[in-house]
């Protein structure tokens, strides 16, 4: 047989998905496993959203949507949301494309701007899919390592150190997966200054936008002066409305880039599902009380887990500002993060993601998701306390 794709062969599988699959398999085999590896909210999609989807199906929304890039009510709802929530004014007819999941929006953004040899800066620790996506889109990923001992803080100097004549774009994620950091005004100013100084595109992943704690403010790079024409914003409903399985996200950006993104969308996935678009309209136009209630539940879990983990000898866990992940570290362990994660699942029945999967600065850490019931989190703390001294 002839050789298969070298490019795709070079791409590792998603470690977060792999750990989640392993946890499910162990549970199916009868093991008592606390699954803290995934990023799937443990809440049901709100009833008014599912009702809108059923109504759309009954009304015949089971064919191709029109326009294919998103039905007009949804494009308009996204544009309204961007202006109301993010202070970003966009043309719904030309500057928005709806995608089957936020992941595809990220890939569309990269594909629309990159040529072979272009470099893309990403901030490390990084969600595991960013570097492979950059490679698949024809670019070269370049890590900007943010040190744990400085709370993974972004500075202009750290960004400038990695700039070359080939640098094309910078990827930003706020709130951040896996660290739980929320972009500060000072950090955003650094991103904006470097983007303008070096004429960079910014790809802003804001999928966890609504999950922020302690009165912090979500800041969108596209809202800053001089940034709308160079910023691509990714968002969706998976985390904010517990709609991971609906596979619906969107990409918003400057018209010339969005024209290319729309062309690629039409030649690959065609569109997101028609009836999910109707559900998304209901989600965006509906009440925000369920999102606020979910966020409050995550806050309570955070407020339990962080001190509980820090009370265990050999475990340190920084507080988080947003999203629903903790990123504890094990400062006295001689194990690397992969070995830590393996020991946790084998010795304690706790499924986590090794910090090294998120880049060099994630070593020594593991990622725990708190998007699970409090009873499971309490069980995880008890299990970890029994084995921490062996790690």
DSSP string, 298-339: HHHHHHHHHHHHHTSTT-B----SBSSEE--B-TT--S-HHH
CA–CA separation, 147 and 316 (whole Å): 15
Quick one: which of 335, 333, 350, 341 has its CA closest to 384? Answer: 350
> What's the pLDDT score for residue 260?
98
- What does the block give as tokens for 246? 């609906």
Provide the token pair at 68: 């294919």
pLDDT at residue 6 is higher than 80 = yes
The pTM score is 0.95
Do 162 and 187 meet the contact criterion of CB atoms below 8 Å apart? no
Tell me: the pLDDT tens digits for 220-259? 999 999 999 999 999 999 999 999 999 999 999 999 999 9
pLDDT in tens, 133-143: 999 999 999 99
Q: Nearest to residue 164, comparing CAs of 138, 141, 184, 148?
A: 141
Residue 307: predicted pLDDT: 98
- Whether the upstream peptide bond of residue 284 has omega within 30° of 0, thus cis, is no
- Bond from prior residue into 310 cis (ω within 30 degrees of 0): no
- Tell me: pLDDT of 128 over 90: yes
Tell me the pLDDT tens digit for each residue of 342-379.
899 989 999 999 999 999 999 999 999 999 999 999 99
Residue 190 and residue 143 in contact, taking contact as beta carbons nearer than 8 Å: no
Share above pLDDT 70 across residues of the chain, in percent, rounded to a whole number: 100
Structure tokens belonging to residue 93: 């007819």
Percentage with pLDDT > 90 across the chain: 91
Check residue 52 and give its pLDDT. Answer: 98
pLDDT in tens, 24-48: 777 777 778 898 988 899 999 999 9
Mean pLDDT (the chain, rounded): 95
Average pLDDT over residues 137-160: 97
- Whether 34 and 367 have beta carbons less than 8 Å apart is answered as no
pLDDT value of position 33: 87
pLDDT at 391 over 90: no
Q: Report which of 158, 180, 134, 178 is spatially closest to residue 358, judged by C-alpha positions.
A: 178
Which residues fall within 8 angstroms of residue 237, CB to CB, at 6 or more apart? Answer: 243, 246, 248, 249, 280, 283, 284
Residue 15 has pLDDT above 80, yes or no: no
């Amino acid at each position: 047989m002839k050789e298969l794709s070298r490019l795709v062969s070079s791409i590792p599988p998603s470690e977060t998905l792999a750990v989640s699959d392993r946890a499910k398999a162990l549970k199916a085999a009868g093991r008592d496993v606390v699954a803290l590896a995934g990023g799937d909210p443990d809440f049901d999609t709100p009833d008014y959203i599912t009702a809108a989807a059923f109504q759309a199906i009954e009304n015949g929304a089971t064919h191709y949507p029109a326009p294919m890039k998103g039905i007009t009510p949804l494009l308009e709802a996204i544009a309204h949301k961007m202006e109301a929530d993010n202070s970003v004014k966009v043309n719904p007819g030309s500057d928005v494309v709806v995608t089957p999941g936020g992941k595809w929006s990220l890939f569309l953004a990269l594909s629309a701007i990159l040529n072979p040899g272009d470099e893309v800066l990403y901030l490390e620790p990084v969600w595991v899919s960013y570097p492979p996506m950059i490679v698949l889109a024809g670019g070269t990923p370049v890590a900007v390592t943010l040190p744990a001992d400085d709370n993974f803080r972004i500075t202009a100097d750290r960004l400038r150190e990695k700039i070359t004549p080939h640098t094309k774009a910078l990827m930003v994620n706020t709130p951040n997966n896996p660290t739980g950091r929320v972009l500060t005004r000072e950090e955003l100013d650094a991103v904006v200054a470097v983007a303008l100084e070096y004429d960079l595109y910014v790809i802003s992943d804001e999928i966890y936008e609504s999950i922020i704690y302690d009165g912090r403010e979500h800041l969108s790079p596209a809202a800053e002066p001089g940034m709308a024409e160079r910023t691509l914003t990714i968002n969706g409903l998976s985390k904010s409305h517990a709609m991971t399985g609906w596979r619906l996200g969107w990409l918003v950006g400057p018209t010339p880039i969005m024209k290319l993104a729309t062309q690629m969308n039409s030649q690959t996935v065609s569109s997101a599902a028609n009836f999910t678009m109707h559900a998304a309209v209901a989600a965006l136009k509906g009440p925000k009380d369920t999102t606020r209630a979910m966020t409050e539940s995550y806050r309570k879990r955070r407020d339990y887990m962080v001190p509980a983990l820090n009370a265990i000898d050999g475990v340190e866990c920084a507080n988080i500002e947003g999203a629903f992940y903790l990123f504890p570290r094990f400062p006295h362990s001689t194990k690397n993060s992969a070995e830590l994660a393996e020991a946790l699942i084998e010795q304690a029945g706790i499924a986590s993601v090794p910090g090294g999967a998120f880049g060099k600065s994630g070593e020594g850490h593991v990622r725990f998701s708190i998007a699970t019931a409090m009873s499971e989190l309490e069980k995880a703390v008890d299990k970890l306390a029994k084995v921490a001294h062996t790690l």
